[in-house]
Each structure stands twice: as structure tokens, then as C-alpha cells.
């Protein structure tokens, strides 16, 4: 008897399979066909060689060896084959170098993040060390510290894998992952050399050659302002860690390819990046860059899940028809597609603005907008990624729950996105801080309203109403505890309204091609089915 055999989902060239990215990049890079070719190549790798390697590497994890056979403490971490390949590729493709080389001016960030978006879902969160490396490059290049710029940037920006370095971002300590001002690590200066002593509780990608970290110079006051920003290199020329011990690797729900570690700093030599205080302010360029990477990773993982789910829906037959022809299954996928589309367009608008900020500069209003947009996009897409990928797994029925389909890892990895780089609540409060004084806040909110496209569709009216009501809430809420209590609902109201506004702007000019059975106008209406105004609920 021949038993039924189900065909699994498959991936093709992930650039060609992505009508959103192809339409966006064809518009912006119509004169730069070499960029389109590079995206096509990355799409081919992502759906081909890297995807296969990812499946083959599925059960492997980084290994920490603390001792050599003769009793010497070595603390070596070996990453898996996929990560080794990803590192070489990241350097060769210029995933960090592109926005600093500035070959395409303000479009350089778009070029970079379009590649990152294709690269990310097939490389098991190698985007983590890359995000921190980009953040470190940005922080150092703005620091005015020429010595460190000369020492580190050529490595961070190298396209030669043998020269390429990644950077860590060592912030988290036991007393406060969010409340970084509680950092316990002490710095003292001996004969002109700073040395760090303390415990870093959660350092991602501990294989990096350098790190930016916070520590409190002896005698400095408590709190964030008493911290200073330090640069350190992790190993000496013989490859030995410089007074750093790796206590253990973390046993995490997801991101299991990332060698996240607990470290003891036992007199680690370090250099001040800038002044010996205000370290949180000094590291904030890094935070904003890694938060942008977080958003791109969120949309990239959603896209991967949806591509697999659409492909499966075409193959899987149940109750007499392919799932894609079942009205309810199709509707479920389209609803997820609408969430993705809003997230995609707002994230890439942020990227666009970042590119402009780094080249032409922004006017005051745009600057305030980008400062606000970064936490909003990070927190909104983080939540969406978890929700969408949970649904994606359900689209496969029981198969979505089975590890060797490669599906569950998508949800586990997505779960980190709302947590690291600022939780949803911390970023909601950051959004309020970013809005500044009541007058600046009202100006920025007015600017957001102006950006909503003209038109009287229900979705557009809903967007204007939600933004207007967020502005009203902010004006009326003067009690600090009440502001804090509503901060998440306020931030999500803004995040979702801005996504719908971005989707509506694109719907006016962009078409998706024939890969998806829907157009952007329809997606816009579906996006608006979920309530935009979270402030009305209470």
C-alpha cells in the first residue's frame, strides 16, 4: 500500500520571492543595477546554500571550552559552521561597510538593510554581532576619539574576512538589564591605564574581538551619569583573553546559535572613549543602531515564516482543496500579510531617514521624528514578530510544532526581539522621553498627522483619529504615574498608526506584482481591522 507523502515547504530565490523588497529596491536603485544584482545573489544564497546549511546545522550549538588538557584556563568558544560561513559572507558583502563607505550617499543604509533583511533569516541571528558591530562603528566614528577610530574602524569596516572584527556591547549586569545606571563594574586608572573589574551578566556574541562597555570610574557618583564608556580588545596577540573569564554560556529559549555568556572582568585593560562620565548618553548611538537592526530582523523573520506558509498552503490539501483555496486559511494568511506590510514599510522608512541623517542631515522636525521612530518601530515590530510567527506555526498544524521542520526555531528566535535592546515597556518610556517638552511633543505629533496621506477611506480616517487621540491623551495627562501607566498603549497606538500611514503612502504608488494574491489597498484595509487606538480600551 502506498502511503500518503506530504511535500514540505521550499524556498526559492528570496529576493525574487519578495514583492515588497523587489518593488522598493527597483524604485530606489533603478540606476544602480549592481545593487540589484547583489540583492539577487543574496536572495539566491538565502533560499539556497545558506538555507540548506542552516537545516544541516540545526542541532549544533556553540561550545565553550574553559580548560585545556593541561589545566590552563583558555575559555575558547567555538561557533557552529553556519556562523563561520555567515561571518565570511558578512565581511565580503560589506554588511557593515556599506553605510560607512557611502558609495550611494543617503541610499547606503537602504542598500545595507535590504541585504541584511535577506541575510538574516538564513543565518540564525548572526545579525546580533553584526548589529553590535554597526553600533560600535557608529559610536566610535561620532566619538571624536581619533586613536580608537584609527585602531578599530578599519577592522569593523573591513571586507576582508581575515581582517574583519565584530564588536560586543557589554551593558547588562545583574542589578539592572534595563536600569543600566546600576552598573557595578568599576574602572580604575593605574599609571595611565584603565582597568575594569566586575561581572557582565549577559554579553551577546562573546567571540567578538572588541567591545564597548560601561563602567564606573572610581569616585564617580551612582547612576547613569556616573558611568563612562570604555573600549576594550578581548584578546592579546597570542589569542589569550585579557583578564576576562567566561563563566558559562547562557541556556536560552532561542537564539541558541548566539554564544551569549557571563563574564568576569578581572582587571581588563580598557580605554576611555570620551569623557569619564555620561556613559549612557555616549553609548546611545549604539542603542539606536541596534534597535534599527532589531526591527529589520523582526520583519525578516516574519517574511521567512510567511514565505514558508504560503508555499505550504499551495501544496497542502485538506477537506478537498489546497489550503490556499480555502477562504479561511487564505484570509488568515492575508491578515498576517497585512501586519507584515505595515511593519515592513515603516521599518524601511526609518532606514531611509537614518541614511539621510548620516549624509545630508535632517531638519529639526525630521530629527525629532527619527528619534521617536526608532523605539516605536523596534517595540511595535518586536511584538508583531512574536504574534505573526506564532500564527505561522499554526498554519502548518502539528508540523509547525515539530523541530526538524525548522519552523519552531522561528518563534523561539522571534521571542528575543521584544526583550533585548530595551523591552517594550522600557522603549515605551523612551518614546515619551524622545518626544521632549509638551510643546515639542505636540509639534512632532502634528508632523505625524501631516504625513498621513489624503483620502477618506475608513483606514485613513482611523489613522488620523488614533493619532489625534494620542496627542489629546498626552496633552491631558499631566500626572506622572498616569503617563507611565499609559505609556505602552500610547506607544503602540503611535507605532500602529504610523505603520498604517506608511502602508497607505506606499499603496498610492507601489504595486506588489503577481507573487501575492492581493494588492496594498486590500492589505491596508485588513491592517485597519485590528484596533489602532489602544488608548480607548481603558
Q: Which residues contact ligand MFK (rule: CB under 6 A)?
A: 127-128, 131-132, 169, 171-172, 178, 180-181, 204, 224, 278, 280-281, 284, 287-288, 290, 293-294, 297, 420-422, 426, 430
Q: How far is the CB of 294 from ligand MFK (least distance, A)?
A: 4
Q: How far is the CB of 365 from ligand MFK (least distance, A)?
A: 17
Q: How far is the CB of 472 from ligand MFK (least distance, A)?
A: 25
**Identity of the residue, 29 or 344, whose beta carbon is nearer to ligand MFK in the bound complex:** 344
Q: Measured between alpha carbons, how far is 272 from 275 in angstroms, rounded to an integer?
A: 7
Q: Measured between alpha carbons, how far is 119 from 141 in angstroms, rounded to an integer?
A: 25
Q: What's the CA dihedral at 125, 131, 133, 136 to 10 degrees?
A: -150
Q: What is the SS3 assignment for 417? A: coil
**Identity of the residue, 110 or 136, whose beta carbon is nearer to ligand MFK in the bound complex:** 136
Which DSSP helix (H) or strand (E) runs through 129? Answer: helix 127-143
Buried b (16+ CB within 10 A) or exposed e, 59-72: ebebebeeeeeeee
Q: How far is the CB of 237 from ligand MFK (least distance, A)?
A: 27
Q: How far is the CB of 210 from ligand MFK (least distance, A)?
A: 15
**Identity of the residue, 29 or 119, whose beta carbon is nearer to ligand MFK in the bound complex:** 119
**Identity of the residue, 260 or 497, whose beta carbon is nearer to ligand MFK in the bound complex:** 260
Q: Please tell me what DSSP assigns to residue 6.
A: P
Closest CA to 206 of 245, 175, 163, 168: 168
**Identity of the residue, 313 or 343, whose beta carbon is nearer to ligand MFK in the bound complex:** 343
Q: How far is the CB of 420 from ligand MFK (least distance, A)?
A: 3
Q: How far is the CB of 131 from ligand MFK (least distance, A)?
A: 4
Which residues are within 8 A (CB) of 381 and not within 5 positions of it... i.e. 6 or more apart?
Answer: 294, 295, 298, 299, 343, 347, 417
Q: How far is the CB of 278 from ligand MFK (least distance, A)?
A: 6
The three-point CA angle 359-360-364 to 5° equals 120
**Identity of the residue, 182 or 477, whose beta carbon is nearer to ligand MFK in the bound complex:** 182
Sort 112 into a burial class: Cβ within 10 Å, 0-12 / 13-18 / 19+.
Answer: buried
The answer to whether 38 and 114 have CB atoms below 8 angstroms apart is no
Closest CA to 50 of 96, 8, 86: 86
**Identity of the residue, 443 or 465, whose beta carbon is nearer to ligand MFK in the bound complex:** 443
Q: Rounded to the nearest 5°, which phi and psi values hold at 227?
A: -90, 155
Q: How far is the CB of 244 from ligand MFK (least distance, A)?
A: 17
Q: Measured between alpha carbons, how far is 125 from 419 in angstroms, rounded to an integer?
A: 14
**Identity of the residue, 171 or 338, whose beta carbon is nearer to ligand MFK in the bound complex:** 171
Give the nearest residue (CB) to ligand MFK. 224
Report the half-sphere exposure of 257 (CA within 13 A, side-chain side).
Answer: 28
**Identity of the residue, 213 or 405, whose beta carbon is nearer to ligand MFK in the bound complex:** 213
Output the CA–CA distances (angstroms, integers) from residue 331 to 304, 445, 503, in the order listed.
18, 34, 19
**Identity of the residue, 9 or 121, whose beta carbon is nearer to ligand MFK in the bound complex:** 121
Q: Measured between alpha carbons, how far is 298 from 292 in angstroms, rounded to an integer?
A: 10
Q: How far is the CB of 180 from ligand MFK (least distance, A)?
A: 4
Q: How far is the CB of 302 from ligand MFK (least distance, A)?
A: 13
E-assigned strands of 320-431?
A: 321-322
**Identity of the residue, 107 or 211, whose beta carbon is nearer to ligand MFK in the bound complex:** 211
The answer to whether 421 and 436 have CB atoms below 8 angstroms apart is no
The answer to whether 214 and 182 have CB atoms below 8 angstroms apart is no
Q: How far is the CB of 354 from ligand MFK (least distance, A)?
A: 13
Q: Measured between alpha carbons, how far is 109 from 97 in angstroms, rounded to an integer?
A: 10
Q: How far is the CB of 287 from ligand MFK (least distance, A)?
A: 5
**Identity of the residue, 349 or 413, whose beta carbon is nearer to ligand MFK in the bound complex:** 413
Output the CA–CA distances (angstroms, integers) from residue 439 to 49, 255, 369, 474, in the order listed.
53, 42, 14, 11
Write 314-321 long-range contacts (CB < 8 A, 24+).
315/6, 315/7, 315/9, 316/6
**Identity of the residue, 15 or 293, whose beta carbon is nearer to ligand MFK in the bound complex:** 293
Amino acid at each position: 500500500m502506498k502511503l500518503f507523502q506530504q511535500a514540505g515547504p521550499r524556498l526559492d530565490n528570496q529576493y525574487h520571492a519578495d514583492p515588497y523588497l523587489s518593488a522598493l529596491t527597483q524604485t530606489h536603485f533603478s540606476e544602480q543595477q549592481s545593487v540589484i544584482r547583489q540583492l539577487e545573489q543574496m536572495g539566491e544564497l538565502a533560499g539556497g546554500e545558506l538555507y540548506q546549511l542552516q537545516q544541516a546545522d540545526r542541532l549544533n550549538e556553540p561550545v565553550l571550552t574553559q580548560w585545556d588538557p593541561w589545566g590552563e584556563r583558555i575559555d575558547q568558544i567555538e561557533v557552529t559552521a553556519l556562523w563561520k560561513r555567515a561571518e565570511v559572507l558578512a565581511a565580503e558583502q560589506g554588511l557593515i561597510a556599506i553605510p560607512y563607505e557611502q558609495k550611494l550617499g543617503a541610499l547606503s543604509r537602504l542598500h545595507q538593510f535590504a541585504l541584511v533583511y535577506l541575510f538574516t533569516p538564513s543565518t540564525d541571528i548572526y545579525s546580533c554581532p553584526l548589529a553590535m558591530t554597526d553600533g560600535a562603528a557608529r559610536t566610535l566614528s561620532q566619538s571624536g576619539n581619533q586613536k580608537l577610530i584609527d585602531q578599530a574602524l578599519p577592522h569593523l569596516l573591513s571586507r576582508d574576512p581575515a581582517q574583519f572584527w565584530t564588536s560586543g556591547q557589554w551593558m547588562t549586569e545583574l542589578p539592572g538589564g534595563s536600569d543600566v545606571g546600576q552598573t557595578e563594574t568599576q574602572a580604575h586608572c593605574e599609571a595611565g591605564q584603565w582597568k575594569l573589574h566586575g561581572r557582565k551578566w549577559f554579553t551577546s556574541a562573546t567571540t567578538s574581538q572588541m567591545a564597548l562597555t560601561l563602567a564606573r570610574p572610581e569616585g564617580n557618583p551612582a547612576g547613569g551619569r556616573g558611568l563612562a564608556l570604555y573600549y576594550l580588545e578581548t584578546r592579546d596577540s597570542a589569542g589569550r583573553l585579557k583578564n576576562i573569564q567566561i563563566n558559562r554560556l547562557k541556556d536560552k529559549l532561542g537564539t541558541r546559535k548566539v554564544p551569549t555568556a557571563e563574564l568576569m572582568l578581572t582587571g581588563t585593560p580598557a580605554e576611555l572613549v570620551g569623557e569619564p562620565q555620561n556613559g549612557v548618553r555616549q553609548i546611545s548611538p549604539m542603542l539606536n543602531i541596534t534597535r534599527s537592526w532589531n526591527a529589520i530582523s523582526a520583519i525578516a523573520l516574519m517574511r521567512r515564516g510567511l514565505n514558508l506558509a504560503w508555499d505550504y498552503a499551495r501544496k497542502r490539501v485538506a477537506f478537498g482543496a489546497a489550503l490556499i483555496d480555502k477562504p479561511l486559511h487564505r484570509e488568515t494568511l492575508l491578515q498576517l500579510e497585512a501586519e507584515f506590510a505595515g511593519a515592513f514599510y515603516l521599518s524601511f522608512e526609518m532606514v531611509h531617514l537614518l541614511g539621510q541623517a548620516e549624509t545630508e542631515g535632517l531638519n529639526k522636525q525630521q530629527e525629532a521624528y527619527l528619534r521617536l521612530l526608532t523605539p516605536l518601530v523596534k517595540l511595535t515590530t518586536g511584538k508583531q514578530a512574536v504574534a505573526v510567527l506564532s500564527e505561522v506555526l499554526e498554519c502548518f498544524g502539528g508540523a509547525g510544532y515539530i523541530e526538524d521542520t525548522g519552523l519552531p526555531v522561528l518563534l523561539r528566535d522571534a521571542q528575543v526581539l521584544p526583550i533585548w535592546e530595551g523591552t517594550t515597556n522600557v522603549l515605551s518610556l523612551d518614546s515619551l522621553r524622545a518626544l521632549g517638552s509638551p510643546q515639542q511633543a505636540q509639534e512632532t505629533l502634528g508632523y505625524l498627522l501631516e504625513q498621513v496621506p489624503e483620502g477618506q477611506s475608513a483606514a485613513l480616517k482611523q489613522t488620523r483619529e488614533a493619532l489625534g487621540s494620542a496627542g489629546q491623551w498626552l496633552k491631558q495627562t499631566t500626572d506622572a504615574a498616569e503617563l507611565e501607566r499609559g505609556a505602552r498603549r500610547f506607544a503602540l497606538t503611535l507605532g500602529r498608526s504610523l505603520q498604517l500611514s506608511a502602508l497607505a503612502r506606499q499603496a498610492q504608488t507601489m504595486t506588489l506584482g503577481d507573487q501575492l494574491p492581493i494588492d496594498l489597498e486590500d492589505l491596508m484595509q485588513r491592517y485597519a481591522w485590528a484596533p489602532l487606538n489602544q488608548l480607548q480600551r481603558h
